[in-house]
Amino acid sequence: MGHRGKLAAGVVTLAVVASLVIPLVVVFLGVLVVALVALDTVVPGVVPGLRTLFRVPVAPRSRRRARLMIAGGIGVLLVACGSAGARISGQFRTEWRLRERQHSTAEQQVTACLTEARQHLAGNEPELAELSLMDAGAVAGIDPERRAEVDELLARIRRSGDAKAIREVLVHLPPDAFEAFARGDSVPDALEFPERALTFRAVELARAQLDEVRAARAPR
């Protein structure tokens, strides 16, 4: 590959890469090259080094003009690449800002739902807390950690209200632990929750089934 081919390949590669990183600089350089070539065309030799860079011959005139056109074409290429890069970069920035805004909105919605759910639990309203968490679970684009926080709290609420699962806990308790719970002396670990409202709910469901559980535990 000759000097001209290497120069063209280098300029194209540089233009493509730089246009995605510093598009405005590429546009400026392209405009500068075009302006210098135009000036040198009007006043030959007025731009020091330009003719040496592009190996513009002194004669014949046709070859000189062809080399200057190549130089001008490189300038136009730089302008085109820089403009395209600026447009692409602008689209990327717009999409990134949109995603950030959507993510921020989603996080605010989930935070509000979690706060509302905890307020319902503090007011001993687990059913309403479950509805709030279901709303939070329907929000898309939240962080996995926040999603896990919602899912775990929702799972605890549902577990505290699962009468069948609570009955199974009582059925399989050791005799001493079951009698202690029946007397009101202790609460099985499986019925203890970080939220007091859920513990009270589970205990209430368990006590409502004591007679049924006694029958199921009786020797046959």
- pLDDT tens-digit profile of 18-60? 666 667 777 777 777 777 676 666 656 656 655 565 555 555 5
Q: Select from 31, 66, 100 the last residue of a domain.
A: 100
Q: What is the pTM of this model?
A: 0.61
Same domain, 19 and 94: yes
Alpha helices in the chain (DSSP H): 3-21, 23-42, 50-53, 61-122, 126-137, 144-160, 163-171, 175-183, 196-207, 210-217
Has residue 149 been placed in a domain? no
Torsion-angle region of residue 173: left (phi > 0), alpha (psi -120 to 50) or beta? beta
Residues of the chain with pLDDT under 70: 1-22, 36, 38-68, 70-71, 220
Asked if 206 and 169 count as a contact pair (C-beta separation under 8 A), the reply is yes
Tally of structural domains, the chain: 2
User: Which domain-ending residue is among 76, 100, 124?
Assistant: 100
Q: What is the pLDDT of residue 66?
A: 66
Closest C-alpha among 29, 64, 70 to residue 44: 64
Q: Which one, of 117, 189, 119, lies nearest residue 157 by Cα? A: 117
What is the predicted pLDDT for the residue at 68? 65
Residue partners of 219: CB distance under 8 A and separation at least 6: none
Identify whether residues 83 and 168 lie together within a single domain: no
For residues 7 and 96, membership in a common domain is answered with yes
Per-residue pLDDT at 204:
94
In a domain, 113, yes or no: no
The answer as to whether 69 is a domain residue is yes
Beta-carbon contacts of residue 1 (< 8 Å; ≥ 6 apart): 9
* 185, containing H or E segment: none
Residue 68 CA neighbour count, 13 Å, CB half: 22
Whether 181 and 162 have beta carbons less than 8 Å apart is answered as no
Instruction: Give the residue from 100, 117, 148 where a domain finishes.
Output: 100
Q: Does residue 131 fall inside a structural domain?
A: no
95 and 10 share one domain: yes
Residue 188, domain extent: 161-217
In a domain, 144, yes or no: no
User: Are 175 and 94 members of one domain?
Assistant: no
**175 within domain boundaries:** yes
φ/ψ of 54, rounded to 5, equals -100, 10
DSSP state of 60: -
Angstrom distance (rounded) from CA 2 to CA 191: 82
pLDDT at 80: 79
Residue 131 has a pLDDT of 93
The encoded tokens of residue 175 equal 């005799």
The answer as to whether 145 is a domain residue is no
